Amino acid sequence: MIMSSKETGTFMPIALAPLHEEVTVVRIGCDPKDLSHLAALGLSKGAVVTVISSVLGSVVVLVKGTRLALDHQIAAKIFVA
């Protein structure tokens, strides 16, 4: 049986999250300015998101009914479980 990251307590960069499955943001390692901007878009610690697309480290996520495109530099700093 394969256990999910939620069951094992591990986390991964959002770009490696499985497509079309809900995951929870557990850590965002951005500077305060970017952190504030992401929070205003609904992407903060504890947010439940669904990765819709992931290509070369850039991702499109669904958060609170809105699609957000994240480039690879920002996506690499967002960890989910």
Q: What is the pTM of this model?
A: 0.86
**DSSP-assigned letter for residue 81:** -
**Strand pairing category for 66-70 and 58-63:** antiparallel
Distance CA 44, CA 67 (A): 15
pLDDT of residue 3: 41
Closest of 12, 23, 25 to residue 50, by C-alpha: 23
Per-residue pLDDT of the chain (81 residues; tens, 9 = 90+): 444 555 557 899 999 999 999 999 999 999 999 999 999 999 999 999 999 999 999 999 999 999 999 999 999 999 999
| Span 55-73, pLDDT tens digits | 999 999 999 999 999 999 9
Contact 26, 54 (CB under 8 A): no
Out of 3.50.50.60, 2.60.40.420, 3.40.50.970, 2.30.30.90, the CATH code matching 5-80 is: 2.30.30.90
